[in-house]
Homo-oligomer: A and B are copies of this chain.
Amino acid sequence: MKYRSISEVSAELDIPDSTIRYYEKKGLLPLIERDNAGRRIFSEDQMTLLGTVMCLKNTHMPISDIKQYVDWIVEGDSTLERRLEMMNNHKQAVLDEIALMTESLKGIDYKIERYTRQLQEKK
């Protein structure tokens, strides 16, 4: 089982180490082990969890909700239903947001077309 230092994790996932410490403090990364010198060492499981946290962060889930989710993971199988419900709700929120962005993009495309046309005409 390979363990990584915080700087290795930081480089590998391209996240500032300060952010990783911040996430741990906020409860998004529980149960991180330490070596004899008190330094964080990240197991494969921790890397997997961090990957999940990044998925949720990339889809704009608030940190407080990610913490709730992680708390449920730690709590165990009794929270499976709640986690499933949360992921389903979140999925819908993400789809809604993508739809809004896609719709708004039309307004931007319209500007691009108009500006392109106007610049053509001016030549």
Contacts and interface: CB of A to CB of B under 8 A. Distances in A.
Count of identical protomers in the assembly? 2
A39 interface: no
Interface residues of A, number: 37
- The majority secondary structure among interface residues of chain A is helix
Interface stretch (A12-20, A21-29, A30-38, A76-84): A76-84
Contacts of A107: 51-52, 55
A100 interface: yes
B98 A59 contact: no
A10 to B, nearest CB: 19
Contacts of A109: 91
A112 interface: yes
Contacts of A51: 107
Interface string A84-123: 1001101100110110111111011101100110110010
Interface in A65-79: 77
Interface of A: 51-52, 54-56, 58-60, 77, 80-81, 83-84, 87-88, 90-91, 94-95, 97-98, 100-105, 107-109, 111-112, 115-116, 118-119, 122
